[in-house]
Structures are given as structure tokens and as C-alpha cells.
């Protein structure tokens, strides 16, 4: 919406409740000159009197160019009516606001998910970011007895149309009992939820995929409600949700994710990597780790560490990390890696 130079006010009343905590995010900009626009929430009691002293400070927008600002607030007792508002005084610029987004902040108690059971065995979770005509999907599926999950990633996401080059290898993988998950970027909680859910729908329509790998997940607990919307949508489809943090997240995410990727980086970084003690409260099939720049000589050492760090799903590769995508081919030693994981199970993993 646009509040003109002469000033303006708009609001919307919402059924929010005392004692609950909410997160309000807004994109705002001034049109041209420096001025000031406000957005936030107002409170009223049952008689309709405004409770200004109880309200959180309004968000202020003072410059041209859209920026996203976030307000977290807990509604106090005595508040009967709440409204979200945007307001501007008379001044030299118009105030533009967009994407008002309000969610309740809830960190749910951990509940059993629909995570695939690994029976105590470590499995390969492959970021198969390589195009089927290159010829690597067929051997990966036909010879990869340790593969549990493959990530489908046509073009940093589902792309703009159905690519039939994936149809045959996907059917082949499903026949082999391998789960397919669709790659989706979340841009560290900045991508609109509507885009993400639409992309899930396209994966389902074009490739029959109902499980998803949510990349670039934000580790901060403030975004748990946002990611809950994503994982709830996945679970409603009957799929699993894998959240890729690349680092260990807030433990509250364990209540909504079926699998958490708690490491994605090079072998050099992995050598000094440690996990918090809360990870030991969960079985290995709840965690995955991706380690690249792993040579054939240190492959076994890295694999042993993934087991020590409770990772039930792994991907280890010597792919060229100088490229933007360190997962654009199979590792040169993938048959040996597959054979080692297929040969036996790690007894320390708990299901």
C-alpha cells in the first residue's frame, strides 16, 4: 500500500491473544526524499481505550529503498483488541509498505516425526546436483546400494518447467527404494513463504516429489514458526522435511525437521568441528553431514568422524571446491564409499 505525501493511516484488527508471542515482519520504503513512516501494532482494552503504554515501539522507515524490519511482541493481560497499522505524517515523501507477515512464535515440544528408519546403518544422502544426460544418475542408482536419499535439483530449485530428462532416473531410483527429495532455497528465512509452497506444489505436479530439502535454513530460533509452516506443508503431503543449516541449529528445530543437516563445509573446517551435547539426545537418523574437499587418503578418517558425531546420513566428496557447486559430479571414490557403508552398520547409532 501507499501512504501519500500528505500523510495517512491504515490498520487491520486481528484475533490475537494475551500471553502469546508474535512476530510481525514488514517491507517498507520511502518514495524519494528522506522522511519517516511507522508500522507496528496497537492495543485496546475491552472498552475500546488505547493502551499506548503497553504497546511495543513502532518500526520506523526513514530512507528510500525497500528494507525488511521485524517486530517481536508478547501481548500483555488486559488487551482485548489488537490492530496492525501503517502510518505517516505530512512530509516530503510517500510511505510504501508491502508483505505484512504475522506469525505466532511457538517452539513445540519434540514429537516423533516420519523420518526414515535407517536400522542403525549409515546411509548416503546425495546432493545429486548433476544433470541426468551426463550419465551419472544411472550408475549411482544401479550400483549405489547404500543410497537412502537423493536430492533432486534441476536448477537451484524446480526451475520454470518440467524437465523430462529427470523422469527415467527418478523412476529408476524409486524402483530401487531410494527416496527423492526436492531442493528448495529458503534464503535464510528471507524468501516469501508463498514462493516456497508454490515450488513444493510444482515439484509434486511435475516430478511426483512430496519430500523436500530446505536449503539455507536459518539457525536462529526466532524463525522456527516460519519453518514450521514449511514442514507442516511437507508433512501434509506425506513427505519428510530435511533442513540444511550447514551448522548445528537451535535444538527447537528438532521438533519440526525430520532430518537436520548440521554440517556442510570442507574437510579442513570439519577437522575442528564439534557438536553441542544436546545432539546426543537424538538418534543418528535425525542428522546428516556433507563434507567436501575430502581426498581418498583421508576419506576413512572423515567417515569415522561422521559416525562419532552421530550423523546417520552422509555425503563425502572430493569434488572441485573451487567451483560454486561442490556437488556437480560423483566423488571419484564413490563406489568404495558405497561399499564401506553397505558392508555393515555402526553399532553406536541409536534408533
The pLDDT-based confidence of 321 (bands split at 50, 70, 90) is: low
Q: Is 113 inside a domain boundary?
A: no
For the cut 70, the answer to whether the pLDDT of residue 350 exceeds it is no
Q: Is 324 inside a domain boundary?
A: yes
Give yes or no: residues 138 and 89 share one domain.
no
Give yes or no: residues 317 and 173 share one domain.
yes
Name the DSSP letter for residue 243.
Answer: E
Question: What is the CATH classification number for the domain harbouring 267?
Answer: 3.20.20.70
SS3 29: strand
pLDDT at residue number 104: 63
Share of residues in the chain with pLDDT > 90 (%)? 68
DSSP-derived secondary structure for 157-200:
SS-SS--GGGHHHHHHHHHTT-EEEEEEE-GGGTS-HHHHHHHH
Cβ contacts of 171 within 8 Å, gap of 6 or more: none
CB atoms inside a 10 Å sphere around CB 249: 24
* Average pLDDT along the chain: 89
CB 325 within 8 A of CB 183: no
Give yes or no: residues 132 and 216 share one domain.
yes
List C-alpha distances in Å: 25 to 102, 205, 209, 329, 334. Answer: 6, 31, 31, 40, 45
Q: Is 71 inside a domain boundary?
A: yes
Give yes or no: residues 153 and 24 share one domain.
no
28: its cell numbers: 517498507
Rounded mean pLDDT, 307-313: 93
pLDDT at residue number 344: 66
Give yes or no: residues 209 and 166 share one domain.
yes
Q: Is 232 inside a domain boundary?
A: yes
For the cut 90, the answer to whether the pLDDT of residue 48 exceeds it is no
Give yes or no: residues 99 and 184 share one domain.
no
Give yes or no: residues 249 and 318 share one domain.
yes
Q: Is 16 inside a domain boundary?
A: yes
pLDDT at residue number 287: 96
Q: Is 87 inside a domain boundary?
A: yes
CB atoms inside a 10 Å sphere around CB 348: 10
Give yes or no: residues 93 and 138 share one domain.
no
Residue at a domain's end among 104, 134, 158: 104
Question: What is the CATH classification number for the domain harbouring 87?
Answer: 2.60.120.260
Share of residues in the chain with pLDDT > 70 (%)? 92
- pTM given for the model: 0.68
Give yes or no: residues 243 and 190 share one domain.
yes
* Least confident among 94-108, 177-191, 268-282, 325-339: 94-108
Residue numbers of the domain that contains 192: 123-343
Count, residues in the chain: 351
For the cut 80, the answer to whether the pLDDT of residue 193 exceeds it is yes
pLDDT at residue number 126: 95
Rounded mean pLDDT, 153-180: 94
Give yes or no: residues 164 and 16 share one domain.
no
Q: Is 141 inside a domain boundary?
A: yes
For the cut 80, the answer to whether the pLDDT of residue 177 exceeds it is yes
Give yes or no: residues 88 and 198 share one domain.
no
Q: Provide φ and ψ at 227, rounded to 5°.
A: -70, -25
Rounded mean pLDDT, 314-327: 80
Q: Is 151 inside a domain boundary?
A: yes
For the cut 90, the answer to whether the pLDDT of residue 111 exceeds it is no
Give yes or no: residues 96 and 160 share one domain.
no
Q: Which is more confident, 344 or 106?
A: 344
Name the DSSP letter for residue 216.
Answer: S
* Number of domains forming the structure of the chain: 2
Residue pointed to by grid coordinates 568441528: 273
Amino acid at each position: 500500500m501507499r501512504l501519500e505525501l500528505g500523510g495517512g493511516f491504515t490498520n487491520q484488527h486481528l484475533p490475537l491473544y494475551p500471553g502469546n508471542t508474535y512476530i510481525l515482519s514488514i517491507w517498507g520504503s520511502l518514495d524519494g526524499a528522506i522522511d519517516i513512516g511507522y508500522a507496528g501494532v496497537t492495543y485496546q482494552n475491552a472498552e475500546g481505550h488505547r493502551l499506548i503504554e503497553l504497546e511495543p515501539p513502532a518500526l520506523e522507515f526513514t530512507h528510500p529503498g525497500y528494507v525488511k524490519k521485524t517486530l517481536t511482541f508478547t501481548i500483555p493481560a488486559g488487551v482485548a483488541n489488537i490492530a496492525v497499522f501503517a502510518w505517516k505524517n505530512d512530509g516530503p515523501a510517500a510511505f510504501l509498505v508491502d508483505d505484512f507477515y504475522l506469525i505466532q512464535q511457538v517452539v513445540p515440544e519434540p514429537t516423533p516425526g516420519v523420518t526414515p528408519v535407517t536400522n542403525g546403518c549409515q546411509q548416503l544422502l546425495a546432493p545429486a546436483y548433476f544433470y541426468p544426460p551426463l550419465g551419472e544418475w544411472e550408475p549411482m542408482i544401479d550400483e549405489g546400494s547404500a543410497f537412502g536419499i537423493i536430492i533432486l535439483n534441476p536448477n537451484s530449485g524446480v526451475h520454470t518447467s518440467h524437465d523430462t530428462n529427470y523422469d527415467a532416473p527418478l523412476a529408476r531410483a524409486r524402483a530401487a527404494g531410494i527416496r527423492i527429495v526436492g531442493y528448495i532455497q529458503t534464503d535464510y528465512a528471507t524468501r516469501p513463504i508463498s514462493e516456497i509452497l508454490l515450488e513444493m506444489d510444482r515439484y509434486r505436479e511435475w516430478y511426483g516429489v512430496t519430500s523436500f530439502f530446505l536449503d539455507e535454513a536459518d539457525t536462529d530460533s526466532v524463525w522456527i514458526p516460519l519453518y514450521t509452516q514449511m514442514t507442516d506443508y511437507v508433512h501434509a503431503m506425506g513427505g519428510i522435511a530435511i533442513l540444511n543449516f550447514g551448522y548445528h541449529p537451535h535444538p527447537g528445530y528438532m521438533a519440526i525437521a525430520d532430518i537436520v543437516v548440521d554440517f556442510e563445509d570442507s574437510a579442513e573446517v570439519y577437522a575442528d568441528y564439534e557438536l553441542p551435547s544436546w545432539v546426543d539426545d537424538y538418534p543418528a537418523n535425525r542428522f546428516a553431514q556433507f563434507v567436501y574437499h575430502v581426498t581418498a587418503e583421508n576419506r576413512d578418517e572423515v567417515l569415522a568422524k561422521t559416525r562419532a558425531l552421530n550423523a546417520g546420513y552422509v555425503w563425502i566428496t572430493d569434488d572441485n571446491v573451487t567451483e560454486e557447486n561442490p556437488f556437480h559430479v560423483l566423488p571419484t571414490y564413490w563406489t568404495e564409499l558405497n561399499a564401506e557403508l553397505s558392508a555393515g552398520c555402526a553399532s553406536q547409532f541409536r534408533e
